[in-house]
Structure 1
Amino acid sequence: MLLAVFLGFGWKATKDADMMVALHPLSLLERDRRAAHTLVVGFPLLAALLMAGLLVVGFAVRGPSAFAGVPWSELGSTLAGLLALGLYSGVLVAFRHTASPALSITCWYLALRHGTPRDLMAFLANAHQQRAVLRRVGAVYQFRHLDLQRHLADRRPD
């Protein structure tokens, strides 16, 4: 069952892959955010489905007597623990395999320290389209002028 769920997620993610759209930085970031969201929400959902499956199998094998004497509060705390473990696992996997959670935290941190604007991607798109300071190579923004790159690379933090 787990294999079918993971294959379904992978098939959906690759089914409509458009290389021209994927090369745009904003669409790539949006796709990464969706993948992170799917991981964070999918793991607790999978844990709930696992718990429901175990309950159904227990009921099918042993009948109503399978749950006789089981305190429902214990069952509820087990379900809450499984959901918490699923959420924790989803967040860990999302941070490990996608870039958007770390990027969001970094953007907030730098914006609070007045290092960058809050909407960094809009700032970079503006620098590319209106100001022509940046060029876009695939899904990456680069400085257009080599002298500016060297100047920024040689600058030491205060």
Structure 2
Amino acid sequence: MVWGELTLPPADLPVPPTTPSARLREMALFAGVGVLNTLVDLAVFAALVTLLAVPPLMANVVSYGAGALNSYLLNGRVTFRARGVRLASWRRAARFAAVNLGCLLVSLAALAALSSFMPVLAAKLGSVIATFACGYVLNSLLVYGSRPQG
């Protein structure tokens, strides 16, 4: 919305950290939440594969979804809270879903490739590592990104 010389950004776009220490704190929180997401993902995956004999790629879709839901809730309430994030935004939820669909595809490709020469649970751990970097960058920029300047 523009009033004279004043430009107001959309209300659901948050403000990123402005100091290196704030950015580092945010990244550390993202990593901590990521550890919890990974534990949820691995626990669901292991249960589906070992207890219920669900095929690994199908189990990965379900377990990744459980970890992603945990990620959305905790990162919105903890990691990116200082940015003024509103979890009840449909646009934010849609961006989060799109980012995680892309990360899920990375995870599936890594799991398929790695499980061809290592045990499936080790391959799953490798797929988690493969998705961490893209997850932080894409979530930071597209889901919890900054307000436009100007």
TM-score w.r.t. the length of structure 1 is 0.34
Structure of greater Rg: 1
